[in-house]
Amino acid sequence: MQNLDELINCRSEQGRKTVEPCSIIIFGASGDLTSRKLVPALYQLFREGQMPAAFRVVGFARREKTDASWRVELRQALDQFSRTKPVEEPAWQAFAANLSYCQGDLTDAAAYQRLAQMLGSFSGGALQRNLLCYLATLPSQFGAIVEQLHQAGLLHKDSPDGWQRVVVEKPFGHDLDSARRLNQELIRFAHERQVFRIDHYLGKETVQNIMMFRFSNAIFERLWNREAIDHVQITVSEQLGVGQRGGYYEEAGALRDMVQNHLLQVMSLVAMEPPVTLEAESIRDEKVKLLKSIRPLRPEDAGKQVVRGQYRSGTIAGAPAPAYRQEPKVNPDSTVETYAALKLFVDNWRWSSVPFYLRTGKRLPLSTSEVRVQFRPTPSVLFAAQCNGGLAPNALTLRLQPNEGISLRFNGKVPGLSLGARPVRMHFGYDAEFGAYTPEAYERLLLDAVAGDATLFIRHDEVETAWGIADSIRHVWEGKPLSDGEFYAAGTWGPVAADELLAQSGHAWRNPQPIK
């Protein structure tokens, strides 16, 4: 009989992705993303034996640094941001030996030639041919970088030997037109299959588990349709305000920052049809089909289906919180939304007439993300008298973060001589079942990019379809002042108008509760 260590090793080997020796080039290597997320993720992958047998990580940025000074900076950042502490010195030393730095401006052709020479000096041909170019820069710089890479011979649409891939961070434009232009810039010098648009939200373990939950459990998949489900609520709430990101938020708002990407991504996974296979294109095909099935929002319907809000001063966890208009770099008369709620319909056979309620906001009571699937109520003919008019509807909640898990609510008899019912909960927690290990989103996404697995990355038509939905809402809000019903106090669950949005259909928000 196998012991526990052998079983763990067996599972680890089965889940290991096939990765080839390669060089990972990080553009914008002096930024926070590199020190806070990318290098800690690569270090963890190396520490756990997931990286290729041979690899190099090259930082490319304008500031003057040496290999040694860059390694010192990253070591200090790792002490702060590593998922596992303390940092294991032998593992770090072995990992750091693969780190190099190339100084240069993103628009300087000579700098890319120096980069090419550095890559050429690495022993092993695969380190020169297999290149993962991570663009941790402003989207406005994507086009210039891919062109310079192509001119320097580091990016080919049809490489005769090896592979080259480009990973780009969001935001993918600020509206449909800019997203289309950005996509055109990228595919001038790279095939669509070489472009990996990253949304860190899809790298979260519990977001990925939505597909596993749906398609590996017949008991739930058979109920996953209009016959059994009354409505679906998707909530992504944030306790923090905009802080020092007021300038960015004035340009983005909740619609661009969260709805267009994170919420629509989660909705597509919850509602899409089963893919033909687990290959990347099959899954992404179904996600795009779902997004294209969302009923278009006409201007005359938008007032009944979308709500915006902006936080005023209030109290968060017993501490005073300023209003959005009082935050640094925010216009004192700003009409930018810090809260958005949508009522969407999917016009296909499975979901006809089932409303999907999406909401996100800042300065809400909790920072949490969850999906609540509420089933249709039972007929009130048997227990109406004993239960004061009816039973609570069954509900399934997928908590994406924090305290990740799945809860099923159903009715049970209250102990005693009388016939009374009360909702009870059956709960599964990831930590309790699998232990505390949950990889960071960037670990999974970086490993997938190195392996060439695009399943958790966004395809160009997916980006453009989501922007089309967001733009139809944004056009309705543009130029209109906020009404009193659209403001909400910090520390509350949003504006009154959001409650009225659900009340139209006899529904009410299920506000997430703290889980201890």
pLDDT of residue 362: 95
* Number of other CB atoms surrounding residue 437 within 10 Å: 10
Q: What is the pLDDT of residue 381?
A: 53
Other residues' Cβ atoms within 10 Å of the Cβ of residue 83: 15
The answer regarding whether domain 19-169 maps to CATH 3.40.50.720 reads yes
Pick the CATH number of 202-374+442-503 from 3.40.50.300, 3.30.360.10, 1.10.10.10, 3.90.1150.10: 3.30.360.10
| Res 387: pLDDT | 57
Residues near 164 by Cβ (< 8 Å), separated by ≥ 6?
130, 131, 132, 133, 149, 154, 155, 156, 190, 194
pLDDT the model gives residue 16 = 59
Nearest Cα to Cα of residue 174 among 238, 116, 250, 111? 250
Which residue matches tokens 């990765």?
A: 19
Coil, helix or strand at residue 142? helix
Q: How far apart are CA 236 and CA 101, in angstroms?
A: 38
DSSP for 379-403 reads PTTSSTTTTTT-PPPPEEEEEEESS
Q: Which residues of 358-389 are buried (b: 16+ CB within 10 A; e: fewer)?
A: bbbbbbbbbebbbbbbbbeeeeeeebeeebee
What's the confidence (pLDDT) of residue 385?
A: 54
Question: Measured between alpha carbons, how far is 163 from 279 in angstroms, rounded to an integer?
Answer: 19
Per-residue pLDDT of the chain (516 residues; tens, 9 = 90+): 334 343 334 333 445 578 899 999 999 998 889 999 999 999 999 999 999 999 999 999 999 999 999 999 999 999 998 888 888 899 999 999 999 999 999 999 999 999 999 999 988 788 989 999 999 998 889 999 999 999 999 999 887 788 999 999 888 888 999 999 999 999 999 999 999 998 887 877 777 788 888 888 888 888 999 999 999 999 999 999 988 888 888 888 999 989 998 999 999 999 999 999 888 899 999 999 999 999 988 887 777 899 999 999 999 888 999 999 999 999 999 999 999 999 999 999 999 999 999 999 999 999 999 999 999 987 765 555 555 555 778 889 998 888 888 888 877 777 765 666 767 778 887 776 666 556 788 898 999 999 999 988 999 999 999 999 999 988 888 888 999 889 999 999 999 999 999 999 999 999 887 765
The residues annotated as belonging to the active site are 262
How many other C-beta atoms can be found within 10 angstroms of the C-beta atom of residue 344?
22
Domain with CATH 3.40.50.720 in the chain: 19-169
Residue 438 confidence (pLDDT): 64
Per-residue pLDDT tens digits for 241-252: 988 888 888 888
Which pairing describes strands 368-375 and 229-237: parallel, antiparallel, or unpaired? antiparallel
The letter for the amino acid at 383 is F
Q: CATH 3.30.360.10 occupies which residues in the chain?
A: 202-374+442-503
Give dist(CA 486, CA 445) in Å, integer: 37
Rounded CA separation 488/241 (Å):
13
H helices of 122-245, where?
126-129, 142-151, 176-187, 205-215, 218-221
**Confidence at residue 416, expressed as pLDDT on a 0 to 100 scale:** 66
